[in-house]
Amino acid sequence: MAKTAALGRRVELVPMDPHCQDITIALYRQEAADGPRYQVHSFSGRPGVVARLDFVAGATAVLGGMAAVGPGQVRFACGGAHELAARRAFLEACKLDPAQPLAARPLQFFDKKTGHQIHVAPLGGGVYQVALEGGDAGRAAAVAGGLVKLGQMQNPAPDQAAFPCGQAHDALIGLLVVRAVNVRATLREQEMQAARGQLAAPSAQQQ
Ligand SMILES: [Zn+2]
């Protein structure tokens, strides 16, 4: 129990890691004086697990634009929680092919639905503006709305999304815009993931 308490609150779970012997990997949130920290952890004692957790934490940091603060531990430089976005960065980090080079995602994305390139421009103060090459304002607003939901952001204008901390998070925007084009499917997946995490909880504790 003490170990679990020190880990903090579990906020995300990958029940079977396809890249490391189907181990269970979870993300824990801890409260610190300088803001929340996220710990990548597994109860598995199998060989290779420590290296795998290091990789996942490192990849989470790159994809989420976060800083490493300890073994398997990351946080946002702004001190904000951005919990949904941190969970997304962790999930994507677990899916990555470890043999491929690691890089944050760009602020552009090809929107299959409209056949146009989406550009997200940082306006400063944590505000981002969505534009489509074809100039489709309705679609730009829909994508901005997707960012607002997935990134727990504010919506200062129809085609804008803003981080409440007032700081830039380019990597998070690159990560989330890919999902924001199909926000309903992503929210559905998040709910299923959460349900699966609850079911997997007891065995995850014992591993
Ligand atoms: Zn922030």
Residue 157 pLDDT > 80, yes or no? yes
Determine the distance separating the centroid of ligand 1 and the alpha carbon of 132, expressed in angstroms: 25
- Please give the residue that has the higher pLDDT: either 29 or 115: 29
Determine the distance separating the centroid of ligand 1 and the alpha carbon of 84, expressed in angstroms: 12
Determine the distance separating the centroid of ligand 1 and the alpha carbon of 23, expressed in angstroms: 31
Which distant-in-sequence residues (6+ apart) come within 8 Å of 34 by Cβ? 75, 79
Of 92, 93, 147, the C-alpha closest to 119 is 147
Query: What's the pLDDT score for residue 152?
Result: 96
State the pTM of this model: 0.90
Q: Mean pLDDT score of the chain, rounded to an integer?
A: 91
pLDDT mean over 51-62: 97
Q: pLDDT of 80-106, one tens digit each?
A: 999 999 999 999 999 999 999 999 999
DSSP structural state of residue 106 = P
